[in-house]
Each structure stands twice: as structure tokens, then as C-alpha cells.
Structure 1
Amino acid sequence: MTYDLKPFGRDYFDMTPSELFRDFGRQFFSNFPDEQGIKTDISEKDDRYELKAELPGFSKDQIDISYENGMLIISAENNQVNEEKDNEGKVIQKERSYSNVKRMYSLNNIDEDNIEAKFEDGILSVDLPKTENNQRKVIDIK
């Protein structure tokens, strides 16, 4: 009796190093569930950045936004308890829902005092005006 020992159904001895690395990455990361993070679009204009983040199922008071040391931080927490009762007040069903998301964005040269945000229909829109000194410094490293 012979056994064919080929991890993930592939013969790794016949693969180039780049194929081996790429295949390992696919196999490794396919075991993780889809990310339940914040889907975000960021666009850059001449004078500001515009960020739009999807936060479905959250209300405005469940969302926290902060800007600190060049990092915009968006976090949201939803901890709901839904109680269904019959006519006599006896609990028949109790459902709990908890979700927590957090994401950080590195955005420099932001006028911190004039950041504006609004939340409407599950979409968080953040307007991040740039400072006057928005020229990037180029340093030549020898």
C-alpha cells in the first residue's frame, strides 16, 4: 500500500518558489472567514480627502470617530437585546446581536479643527480638509 503525501493536493517539489509562496498564501488565507470590517472609499481632492464608509445596522450614536497623530479611527459597536413577550408577559424568545468594527486610516496634513462627518442611510461620510502645508517632504536617503 502506498500513500501519496501531497499537501493540499499539490506536488510542491515541482513548483517554483514564487508558485509555492502564492499557493501557500491562497491555502492559508482561504481558511479565514470573510472580513466583517468597514468597507471604505477614500478620494483625494486638491483641498481635502473625502471618506465614505459603510456601516449598515449601526445608528449614529453607536459610532465613534477620532483623529489622532495622523490616524483617523472609526469604530462602531452594536449590542442589542430584543425581547418578545406574549400577552401574559412571559418571555418566549430573547435574541441578542453584537457586532464590533474598527478601522484606522493613515491620513497626514489634515486640518483637525475642520473635520466634518455625517451619517445617513448606513453611510458615514467624513470630510477631511488638508492643511495649507500639504507639500510632501522628500528626503534622499544615502
Structure 2
Amino acid sequence: MKSMNEFFNEKPIKGFLQTMDEFFKRPFPFDAGFRLDLRETDNDYIVTAELPGVKREQIHIHANGNYLTITVENNELETREDERNNSFQRKYLRQHSSRTITLPQSINEKLVKASYRDGLLQIKIPRIKGTVIEIDD
């Protein structure tokens, strides 16, 4: 039993097991999405997305039927040149995250209002009020 304990506590195996533990605590290195909240008032649906550190031009909002999709896309090209070592490095970074929510009614894109301030995106979608139909006797 002591030999088995020593085997699992030695450096290569212990490091591997710690890496496995970290993997299962957070299986995806990047968050699959961002925090999204939907509130309903008497007149509007209010969608709030937390997007800290995101620039306004990286946010895309699409409405299709009763689906609202918020997409955050970051494309960066990083170049580094070292004249001393005669090396040139170019790295292209692409990050993409998207969330779609379904509303109980169709979205009129012309009436939707969106604002973005301090890392908080807020979208107001007016509710469409139907008419009440009374039943005849």
C-alpha cells in the first residue's frame, strides 16, 4: 500500500493527476458563453448581457422571428519582430462567443433599442399586446 501511495505522489504522476483535476473543474479553457439575463415588464422584454472588456464594434445583434442572437467576435493580428535575432512572429487570435434566446413572440426589429455602457449590453424589445377576443353566448 505504501508503494502505491508513493507511486501516485511522485512528481510525474502527481503532476498529471493535478492536471486532470484542473481539467474536470473547468473542462473548457474558454467560457462557452457570457452571462445573459431576460426580464419581462408590462411593456418590454429586457435582455441584459455582461460583456466586460468588449468593444462596441465587436458586438453583433441579430433578430430572426422570435429568436434574438448576441454574438461577440474578436479578431486580432499580433506581430512581433526581433531584429537582433532576425525573427518575425505573427499570431492571429480569433475569439467567438454567441448566445441565442427565444421570446414568446416575434420581434419587430425596427422597434428594438440597444445600448452598451460600462461592459453592460441592454436590449429593450417592446411587447406586442394582442386583442382580447370575447366568446359569444
Which residue of 101, 117, 122 maps to 1:120?
A: 117
Deviations 1:50-98 (A, max 9, x none): 111022332111211111111001112101123355799x767655432
Matched, 1:33 2:52: no
1:73 aligns to what? 69
The residue type paired with residue 54 of structure 2 is: F
Which residue of 60, 81, 91 maps to 2:56?
A: 60
Distance 2:56 2:38 in 1: 20
1:9 aligns to what? none
Question: In the comparison of the two structures, how many residue pairs are matched?
Answer: 106
Q: Which runs of 5+ in 2 are unaligned?
A: 1-23, 133-137
- Percent identity for Structure 1 against Structure 2: 28
Distance 2:102 2:131 in 1: 15
Secondary structure of 1:32's counterpart equals coil
Distance 2:125 2:48 in 1: 11
Deviations 1:22-68 (A, max 9, x none): xxxxxxx8673274302111111011011110223321112111111
Matched, 1:45 2:41: yes
Question: What TM-score results when the alignment is normalised by the length of structure 1?
Answer: 0.60
